[in-house]
Chain A
Amino acid sequence: MVTREPEVSTPRESGAAGVESTLAPAPASERAAAALRGDPSAAAASAPTSNRAPSTDAAQAVIELEHFGVRFGRHQVLDDLSGRFSGRAIGLLGPNGAGKTTLLHTLLGFYKPSSGTGRIFGLDTVRQGKEIRKLVGYMPERDSFIANMTGVRFVRLMAELSGLPPKQALERAHEVFFYVGLGEARYRKLGTYSLGMKQLAKLAQAIVHGPRLLFLDEPTNGLDPPARVRMLRLVREIRSSGKCNVILSSHLLHDVEECCEEVLILKRGKIASYCNLEEERRSNRKFLELEVHRPRARGEAAAPSEAETEDIAGAAAGTQQAAQASFADALRALGCDVAILNRRRLKAVLPFQVEIRDLYQVADQKGLEIRRLDYRRDSLEDIFLRAMGDDDGRL
């Protein structure tokens, strides 16, 4: 007996643009400027407050969390997560133990949340677990397979468990094996597969039933560079097909940067940051990283006595700091956004009318030399490190 599944529209299908509808926690430029100013409170204020990631209501969210928490005994693994996530490809980042896999498992219904609610495509993760699992494909982090089965039989079994009738399941199993590039190995037993082949077989079983949401837990774990490139290309293709949203959990920033449009960073079970990478890239104005030194005056050139050394060093440091602060103020007066990184380095975003030569002039007026000057842009690594740097795990 066959029945038709109820259609659940994804944000793509409902015509919503995931990027626009994503929780855009305050304009990224505002946050960037706040962070650049070295003002964490301002950054936090313009970013999602606590663990809430605000969003527009225009699109149906892929994942909605409302005070979502998971506790194992006395250990709070996920703590009060809230937000609506509707991106086409969302990277789930965080250090080991941040709660990435726990979040995926709880959304899949493996654990019950200890507090709050979670919804996928509007379906409650606790009450409508089976309905959700019809729409979701899951590629686990650890080796998971049935050793005594051939690849195609294994994937066919998984397709049938997802509800495909036997004939269609067999057809799809062959198709996905060719799609992931294991066509020639599909009649080999899974136990004889190499690690890279097993990862691809895991991907095949996750997409065989044509899910609308794909959970990929560390998909490039243990892969050699060519296999990794292949895996990431497949993930990008699936994402770009527009038929499937992807949640990619990884601690490898590069993988997330290559495949995802949005990033959710978890830290100690809390949302440390949620941002749209493309928007961040666009809004993150190029900034200058400057290294300034105060040249020694002629009188200082003579070698000081040992007793004088400490005093002079302290005074020199103080003078350098004072000169640097004065330089920063002068730049601000020119309309630059400036953040002091350390005693010698500072970051500056120049307005249109300010030129590099102006910086040299100001430095000269303040008795400083610009020793190094680099153009830089915030990378995902910067965003990640900034998120990890906050003490309370919140932006």
Chain B
Amino acid sequence: MAVYERTYRGYAGPRADPKTRFLVVARYALQEVFASRLFTGFFVACLLWPLACAVIIYLKYNVEALSILQLDALDLIPIDITFFRWGLMRPQTALAFVLILIVGPALIAPDLRNNALPLYLSRPLNKTDYVLGKLVVLLGLASAVTWVSGLLLFFFQSYLAEGWFADHLHIGRAVFLGSGVWILLLSLWALAVSAWVKWRPWATIAFLGSIFILSAVGQIFKLIYRTWWGSLLVFDDVMMRIWDQLFAVAEPGELPAFWAWAAALAFAAVSIWALYRRIRAYEIVS
């Protein structure tokens, strides 16, 4: 319709596939996130350490480069479980935490504050699509700095070291599953907090605070009663135990792996419940 023809007309053109509708929410949210140069800079910085690790792996198997740099391959750290777990995944999961801390609380809180949910949910989009759209943003960003980089390095190492892949397949699985659990739990929790606290700065504080308070309560419980039950409230303890199990570390911690998985599941369930309680197209006036 030309600008001068200001009359109402319907739309009879093509429509996008309804199954991918949630990706519209994700795309717009991602555009908002990357509108900040500061965040873009931080995101790029998150990828620097995996890049450095790639350089280490490359040097390890490149005799020419080692001779130019006058280094011995034995001087470089071995590429094994320790390298992947502590050298790569530990810093990367910490960066993923910061990334989710920055992005997560800003995803739902502004929509709630501006009463935008009736607009979203009056479209052919349901709660699950909306939450999925927002979740994809966090999972996508955090995945890039955790398991995607981890698996790329894993395959790079496998490519350079003949026969290494088959012997260390569990490392790849641990990188993928461990990172997946970590970022999924944090993302769900961040979205749940964002759905309950309408003001973004408070949502950020609440996200950080809730994790610290739970950890503090868990630690106090552990100290007073001298039992591992308190660890169920400590997010880091739960994840450590899951990492231990996935990397098949010989020395198990106090917390049984079963209970660590159960706690992670409960954490996710509570987050989803909290999300669904708040994501609705109307305000309840009592």
Contacts and interface: CB of A to CB of B under 8 A. Distances in A.
Interface of A: 1-5, 105, 108, 110-111, 129-131, 133-134, 136, 138, 140, 142-148, 157-158, 160-165, 168, 172, 175, 178-179, 183, 205, 207, 209-212, 237-238, 241, 243-244
B120 interface: yes
A388 B10 CA distance: 37
Looking at B11, B13, B114, B280, which has the most chain A CB atoms within 10 Å of its CB? B11
Given A2-B17, A179-B6, A241-B9, A143 B120 contact: no
Given A105-B281, A140-B119, A163 B114 contact: no
B122 interface: yes
Contact of B24 (A3, A148, A157, A244): A157
A168 B9 CA distance: 14
Given A3-B17, A144-B114, A130 B28 contact: no
Given A157-B24, A158-B123, A205-B119, A163 B3 contact: no
A161 B114 contact: no
A161 B282 contact: no
Given A3-B14, A108-B122, A178-B3, 18 more contacts: A1-B17, A3-B15, A110-B118, A134-B124, A140-B119, A140-B122, A142-B118, A144-B114, A146-B116, A160-B16, A161-B24, A163-B21, A165-B15, A209-B11, A210-B10, A238-B8, A241-B10, A243-B10
A161 B14 contact: no
Contact of A212 (B8, B10, B17, B281): B10
B18 interface: yes
B9 A133 contact: no
Nearest to B20: A1
Contacts of B11: 164, 168, 172, 209-210
A165 B12 CA distance: 12
Nearest to A138: B122
A388 B110 CA distance: 41
B8 A243 contact: yes
Contact of B13 (A164, A207, A241): A164
Contacts of A110: 118, 121-122, 280-282
B7 interface: yes
B110 A140 contact: no
Contacts of A178: 3, 6
Interface residues of B, number: 38
B114 A145 contact: yes
Interface in B147-201: none
Given A210-B12, A244-B10, A130 B124 contact: yes
7 contacts: A3-B15, A148-B110, A160-B24, A162-B124, A175-B3, A210-B12, A243-B10
Q: Which of B16, B17, B119, B122 has the most chain A CB atoms closer than 10 A to its own CB?
A: B122
Contacts of A205: 119
B234 interface: no
A136 B14 CA distance: 17
A129 B114 CA distance: 24
B79 interface: no
Interface of B: 1, 3, 6-18, 20-21, 24-25, 28, 32, 110-111, 114-116, 118-126, 280-282
A30 to B, nearest CB: 37
A165 B13 CA distance: 9
A143 B18 contact: no
Contacts of B115: 140, 142-145
A51 B115 CA distance: 33
A211 B11 CA distance: 8
Contact of A158 (B17, B119, B281): B119
A241 B122 contact: no
Nearest to B17: A1
A179 B8 contact: yes
Contacts of B110: 146-148
A134 B16 CA distance: 12
* A-B interface, 5 closest residue pairs, ranked by CB to CB distance from nearest: A210-B11, A210-B10, A2-B14, A163-B15, A138-B122
Contacts of B25: 161
A120 to B, nearest CB: 13
Contacts of B20: 1
A183 B6 CA distance: 11
